[in-house]
């Protein structure tokens, strides 16, 4: 008489976790971008047409960034990633001109895309340059002297948002790699 073994639950659980975290990561990235667009409606000082420019920029930036996120979830670099990263950087630079300070939070998505697309030797210094850019764009004050945010605050906000978007992607890529290695064993 053969002994019946219970089915192994780990592969099913891992697949479910991967799927749930992937959906959550994509949802968080899209939600943060939409929140940034919506925030422009409530800014006291904003350029004329900032809300429309933010919506247009988000409609261009979100698909580019989500493409990078999808590959980042698998721990891979996207094909033609340099070109889509360059397009994302251009969209962000133009949006900063037309939307103004309200778009600065979106630089976190650019930082995440840089960390996904480029190798570490290039990614870390370039991402750091994007993170400190509010200091050059808005000044180094810690506080708000008029109805605009301080450069130091925005630098830390971009760092925090980029970390909350990037760390789960790296963890998910690590879980997938461990699952694949476990399957090989």
Confidence category of residue 13, pLDDT binned at 50, 70, 90: low
pLDDT tens, 25-79? 899 989 988 988 888 777 766 778 888 899 999 999 999 999 999 999 888 899 9
Cα–Cα distances in angstroms (integers) from residue 25 to residues 70, 119, 160, 165, in the given order: 9, 21, 15, 7
Non-local CB neighbours of 170 within 8 Å, separated by 6+ positions: 72, 75
Predicted pLDDT of residue 102: 82
Predicted pLDDT of residue 86: 97
pLDDT tens, 97-126? 998 888 899 999 999 999 999 998 999 999
pTM beyond cutoff 0.75: yes
């Amino acid at each position: 008489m053969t002994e019946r073994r219970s089915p192994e639950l780990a592969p099913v659980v891992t697949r479910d976790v991967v799927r749930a975290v992937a959906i959550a990561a994509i949802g968080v990235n899209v939600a943060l971008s939409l929140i940034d667009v919506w925030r422009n409606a409530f800014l006291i000082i904003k350029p004329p047409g900032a809300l429309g420019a933010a919506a247009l920029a988000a409609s261009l930036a979100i698909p580019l960034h989500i493409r990078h996120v999808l590959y980042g979830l698998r721990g891979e670099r996207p094909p033609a990633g340099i070109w889509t990263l360059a397009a994302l950087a251009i969209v962000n630079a133009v949006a900063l001109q037309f939307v103004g300070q309200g778009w600065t939070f979106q630089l976190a998505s650019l930082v995440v895309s840089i960390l996904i697309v480029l190798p570490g030797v290039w990614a870390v210094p370039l991402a750091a340059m994007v993170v400190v850019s509010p200091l050059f764009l808005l000044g180094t004050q810690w506080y708000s002297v008029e109805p605009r945010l301080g450069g130091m605050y925005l630098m830390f906000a971009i760092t925090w948002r980029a970390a909350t978007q990037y760390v789960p992607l790296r963890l998910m890529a690590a879980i997938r790699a461990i699952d694949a290695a476990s399957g090989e064993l």
